[in-house]
Amino acid sequence: MRKILVTGAAGQIGSELVPALRQLYGDENVIAAGHRTPMPDDVRESGPAITVDVTDVASVQRAVRDHDVGTVYHMSSLLSALAETNRQRAHAVNIEGLYNVLEAAVDNDVDQVIVPSSIAAFGPDTPPDNTPNETLQRPTTLYGISKVFGELMGNYYVEKLGLDVRGLRLPGIISWKTEPTAGTTDYAVAIFYAAIRDGRYTCYLRPDTRLPMMYMPDCIKAIIDLARADASRLRHHTDFNVGAVSFTPAELAEVIASRLPDFSIDYDVDPLRQGIADSWPNSLDDSAAREEWDWNPSFDLDAMADDMLDNLSRKLAGEGRSDQEE
């Protein structure tokens, strides 16, 4: 088979997507591409791993051409809070990087490109509750603007160039393997680390900030299910809402406290991330994804919290042990 290339393979989602794809398609067929962030050992050691700078057109072209790539999962992206503090890099990675990948795909007859979008593709003018798939999209963040660009560019390459580009608007992703870097929804991961390590957490969002979220196993399932969906059923391509759970910091803290009774939370609001969160939806209408490729998440808030606490406790206990051994 032609190879699968995953950019951003060291990132929060990439580092879990690569093993899932290797299990499905075989270790040798899935190439993990990273750049500056060190790749987790299991990703680097279980199959091919290369360095690709998505901002460098030659580097992207080489990776796609030299490895006979048939599918690209383009996961490289600067998340929302970091993008606001580094406009130049956000433009280079999120906008030019995507353009380089799409052009390399066309030049090298790639069959399919998967490009995640985000709830950040919506803005303060968008209806916030049960946000429709088709609605006003006027994001006020650079990250959100780059995600709308990605959706529109992807649809352009579908319509004008016949490339099979697919994408979904991911909510905040909660996971225990690799921590996210400088997103707005990161508190929902950090709170679990803090709860286990310190029994307390200071949250940078207000207690009533409701945001759509999803547990990593559902995220991986959504990405792979969309990639494998029957093309003849798809009326959308790059812009599917995918919902799972929706909660506030106060509600998440309550769920954690019901499992770790000594846990406490306080709040020290960061105006940058609060402003970003306030411009995003509270919850999503994902009926298009349900109708066109049978999207159906498995984890509700309780199931997610149980699984997170279980896996993260084991991971942190293991790290504690190896620190002592050093």
List, by residue number, the catalytic residues: 143
Is there binding between residue 79 and ligand AKB (CB under 6 A)? Answer: yes
To the nearest whole angstrom, how small is the minimum distance from the Cβ of residue 296 to ligand AKB?
A: 21
Residues 181-220 that bind ligand AKB (CB under 6 A): 183-185
Minimum distance from residue 115 beta carbon to ligand AKB (Å): 13
Based on CB atoms, which residue is closest to ligand AKB, 71 or 77?
77
Instruction: Specify the stretch interacting with ligand AKB by CB under 6 A; choose among 20-28, 33-41, 180-188, 257-265.
Output: 180-188
In angstroms, rounded to a whole number, what is the distance separating the alpha carbons of residues 218 and 268? 30
To ligand AKB, the closest distance from the beta carbon of 279 in angstroms equals 11
CB 310 within 8 A of CB 267: no
131: contact with ligand AKB by CB under 6 A: no
Helix 97-107 and helix 57-66: axis angle, to 10°?
Answer: 40
For residue 78, the one-letter residue type is L
**Contacts with 276 (C-beta within 8 Å, 6 or more apart), sequence order:** 80, 81, 84, 120, 141, 184
- Which listed range, 19-27, 115-123, 246-254, 302-310, lies at the site for ligand AKB (CB under 6 A)? 115-123
Measured CA to CA, the distance from residue 98 to residue 93 in angstroms comes to 7
Does the protein bind ligand AKB through residue 80 (CB under 6 A)?
yes
| Segment lying near ligand AKB (by CB under 6 A), choices 84-92, 117-125, 249-257, 262-270 | 117-125
CB of 15: closest distance to ligand AKB in angstroms? 15
Task: Provide the residue type at 139 as one letter.
Answer: P
Phi and psi at 4, nearest 5°, equal: -105, 125
Q: Does 243 bind ligand AKB (CB under 6 A)?
A: no
Cα distance between residue 11 and residue 40, in whole Å:
9
Say if strands 69-74 and 112-114 run parallel, antiparallel, or are unpaired: parallel
Q: Which residues bind ligand AKB (CB under 6 A)?
A: 79-80, 118-120, 143, 170, 172, 180, 183-185
